[in-house]
Structure 1
């Protein structure tokens, strides 16, 4: 339940901080006073998209905050699943907008995405505005109403999971069929490509090795010369590095006993001597191995040219990529060879999923058909007192192909009198009739779903007098069932039934036009309803009528 609403710097509102109450409340005020602004602010709290133009002129940001009591609505799992602190007695939702176009949302001071804010908002508040009456003509909305009242969510979720798997299997089968059709047309070409790559006897690292071999053979004379000179400098008899090192080592050993510091040099020089001998052996071995073989160089060049040609042909840069291409071609050829078996397996899986879908969809149909009869009965009971004594309302459950919500389409058929045939409601119902039908549906839904707060924005459009009274009584009944119902109205018959009465007004100040909303006292309420009855010139008769309305209805 919405307990408190705070709005700052939003459109025409400087600052509003108002407490809201359980039961049935009404909001009145002249056209253009700012009632739609209040709804707009609540809409932002429920996750609607923001526009920086809604920030009050001259302000750098606006804040909208609401406090909810959730103690009766078992919403703790939502907070646990999303790692948000949970306080059943005071859940705080806040939305902040800046003039720079930035928007932030918070639930109990935890920053959240707009999608998560909307998810919670959908569980807290239902705002029924006039444009929602248009939904009555849409099949998706009609189906949603029936499913809500049927309480078939578990069966619907199970079906949707099966249908998603069925739809995915259809896609797999279609893609495989398309791929196989393409492959069959290209079978000869695929076979040629595979044999070309297979016959090339590709080895993953061979290109790098042969490129190195070619580089070595191409510069073999330079390499041999450098190795020979290195071997001579290191191991020549008298002037080679090793010979000189041996002499130096002999000299230094003669003083180790009298000059201890030389012992460390001895060890280091001996280590160098061992390392240099090892280098000489390696150089000599390599020198013997270097040999220029024109035939081998030609073979290497031919092999590399073959690899380069294949890479260019198949638009790759490495032998590893060629190997991957070869393996993919092998897979495609194998798939073509085993295509009938693969298709048969997929088709069997698809058929099994379809049977499961049909079985689960049939279960949903039974729920809906049973609920349709109950909706028809209740709608007749609710609409007759609303000024439609000859009303007929039928919920038609039509079989269709499988879709994401089963195999049913729902059609609400309507006739306000006995002489007119039943037709889709959006085609034949007047605005006032649509409003009464929507209110009756909302009353039914509110009994099936524990939604904390329901806001009606001029649900009374097109009605007056006794019909308006009865509509108000329905909203009053809804508000008495652990629920908060708020009606924005222009009708005194509805305003008089509210347990709590708020007025939205607009005034000119030094800072410009400002909208305000406040709770009316008993005397102010009489004055407000009298004004709704007689207009701006409030007569004594209007005052008396207002008192009678309030006395009778409360």
Structure 2
């Protein structure tokens, strides 16, 4: 409920604040005192439009601050949490408007947008008057009013959660399908590349060894000539290097017999002889390994080109090619995994679709039943409000046949709030067809229909006295702030405030004061008799307040 309201520099209000209680709170006062201005200021808390000319003359800004206390309210709790506002039992809303057109909105001390304020305010306060019937004029609200009457709001909220879960799952499935399709489009190429690399049967470092062997085979004739000539020069010929060294060693050995100083030279020559002999034998052995094999050379050329082709396509080295093959294998594995996940999610989605359709259909049937009860209840209340001839009907959309039975339902037909779109229809007079409420009802009719609905909804909760009794009945369930000039209504209130004007330093300003019991008697008497308060009016006022 609204606990405290503070208004500053708004129209003719300089500074006004008052605390409210539960039940029916009455605001009365002379015409032009500023009662409507207070409601207009409260409308800012609902997210209503703000105009610079609402700011008190000579001031740069106007502000409205409202403190609410509220019990458990699932819709409000979820909305505040969604917007990221912290709260505990109390909600403080402040809105300031500036001459240059700016707005500043705070919800529990945190900055908020006008859209956020509108959504929160719509839950906290409902303003009813001959010209403010947004709840009834907007067809979107009719379904929520029906659900409130039928006690179906929690069921609708549960369906909202299920619907959102379904949408998230569908989004995940669609994203996965798109991913699989895109990967699948590359699948043929991926498989081709995988097979190409696997068929090559690559061994790391193989390209280096192939290049070396290919080079040897390509120059095998030249190599054979080189090693053959080398072997012959070292060993085979009569004048070979080894023969010459052997003669030299023999001569030096003879000289060493004369001069021992030649001994080390002889030893060096002997070592050279051994090394040359080893080299000649190595050349001879190497000669045996050199083959001129055109077929092998062709094989190596092809292998070399294959390896180089793979390196050009998939990496500068064979190691990179093998890494790329592993990447392709991972992609193929991921594709299989995604297909498996898709199958699982689609099974879950099918179960969720069945549940969603079942719950939506069940809720729709309950709404059909509740609609009949609401129609009777509204017509009964309107009869008390001197609209006895009015017919009220809840019209359902195309998902129901002429008998009101639910047609076959497809999941695509289920929306956030279920299958139904409803619209309130009325026929105010005998012989008139039922037509949409928003299009044909007058302001007064809308006021009384709204009053009837609120009374009914609070319970599932034409005279001014009856309206007052209705308001008093409604106040047992809701806090009400009512502006009235009618004593029959004012006398029904639990709390009564007097709105008046005074002139201070040449400026008019609105003030508000809570009335004590005797003050209230005099105000009711004023409402009964006008400016002149007679003893008879006072007695009548006491009688009205004593009922």
In which range does the TM-score fall when normalised by the shorter chain? 0.5 to 0.7
2:330 and 2:161 map into 1 onto residues whose CA distance is 33
The answer as to 2:465 corresponding to 1:469 is yes
| 1:197 to 1:516, Cα distance in 2 relative to 1, 3 A | farther
User: Match of 2:188?
Assistant: 191
User: Match of 1:529?
Assistant: 527
Which deviates the most, 502-511 or 413-422?
502-511
SS in structure 2 at match of 1:471: helix
Alpha-carbon contact 2:24-2:479 (below 8 Å) kept: yes
1:328 and 1:51 map into 2 onto residues whose CA distance is 63
User: Match of 2:351?
Assistant: 352
User: Match of 1:434?
Assistant: 446
Question: How many Å apart are 1:360 and its aligned residue?
Answer: 1.0
Question: How many Å apart are 1:382 and its aligned residue?
Answer: 0.8
Aligned ranges 1:81-230 → 2 under 5 Å: 91=90, 93=92, 95=94, 97=96, 101=102, 103=104, 105=106, 107=108, 111=110, 124-130=124-130, 132-172=132-172, 174=174, 187=185, 191-192=188-189, 195=192, 199=196
| 1:419 to 1:172, Cα distance in 2 relative to 1, 3 A | same
Structure 1, gaps ≥5 residues long: 207-297, 310-317, 450-465
| 1:182 to 1:59, Cα distance in 2 relative to 1, 3 A | same
Alpha-carbon contact 2:159-2:356 (below 8 Å) kept: yes
Alpha-carbon contact 1:9-1:61 (below 8 Å) kept: yes
User: Match of 2:483?
Assistant: 488
SS in structure 1 at match of 2:429: coil
Alpha-carbon contact 2:62-2:96 (below 8 Å) kept: yes
Question: How many Å apart are 1:375 and its aligned residue?
Answer: 1.5
TM-score for the superposition, normalised by structure 2: 0.60
Which deviates the most, 26-35 or 402-411?
26-35
SS in structure 2 at match of 1:514: strand
1:516 to 511, 515, 524: 511
User: Match of 1:24?
Assistant: 24
Question: How many Å apart are 1:418 and its aligned residue?
Answer: 3.4
| 1:428 to 1:177, Cα distance in 2 relative to 1, 3 A | same
SS in structure 1 at match of 2:419: strand
User: Match of 1:252?
Assistant: none
Question: How many Å apart are 1:483 and its aligned residue?
Answer: 4.0
TM-score for the superposition, normalised by structure 1: 0.59
Which deviates the most, 190-199 or 381-390?
190-199
1:56 and 1:404 map into 2 onto residues whose CA distance is 44
1:512 and 1:324 map into 2 onto residues whose CA distance is 86
Alpha-carbon contact 2:194-2:329 (below 8 Å) kept: no
| 1:374 to 1:319, Cα distance in 2 relative to 1, 3 A | farther
User: Match of 1:443?
Assistant: 455
Equivalent pairs counted in the alignment come to 419
Alpha-carbon contact 1:26-1:500 (below 8 Å) kept: yes
Question: How many Å apart are 1:191 and its aligned residue?
Answer: 2.8
Structure 2, gaps ≥5 residues long: 199-203, 205-304, 400-412
SS in structure 2 at match of 1:127: coil
Question: How many Å apart are 1:27 and its aligned residue?
Answer: 2.0
Alpha-carbon contact 2:9-2:59 (below 8 Å) kept: yes
| 1:62 to 1:321, Cα distance in 2 relative to 1, 3 A | farther
SS in structure 2 at match of 1:419: coil
User: Match of 1:216?
Assistant: none
2:418 to 406, 420, 424: 406
- 1:139-168 CA-to-partner distances (Å, cap 9, x unmatched) read 421110111122223432332232223334
**Larger Rg computed on CA atoms:** 2
| 1:145 to 1:328, Cα distance in 2 relative to 1, 3 A | farther
SS in structure 2 at match of 1:390: coil
2:498 and 2:37 map into 1 onto residues whose CA distance is 13
SS in structure 1 at match of 2:126: strand
Question: How many Å apart are 1:494 and its aligned residue?
Answer: 3.1
| 1:98 to 1:476, Cα distance in 2 relative to 1, 3 A | closer
2:173 and 2:484 map into 1 onto residues whose CA distance is 56
User: Match of 2:474?
Assistant: 478
Alpha-carbon contact 1:526-1:547 (below 8 Å) kept: no
Question: How many Å apart are 1:443 and its aligned residue?
Answer: 1.2
Indicate the RMSD between aligned Cα atoms, in angstroms. Answer: 5.1
| 1:301 to 1:540, Cα distance in 2 relative to 1, 3 A | same
User: Match of 1:245?
Assistant: none
User: Match of 2:250?
Assistant: none
2:191 and 2:500 map into 1 onto residues whose CA distance is 81
1:404 and 1:363 map into 2 onto residues whose CA distance is 15
Which deviates the most, 422-431 or 405-414?
422-431
| 1:513 to 1:46, Cα distance in 2 relative to 1, 3 A | same
Alpha-carbon contact 2:130-2:444 (below 8 Å) kept: no
User: Match of 1:368?
Assistant: 367
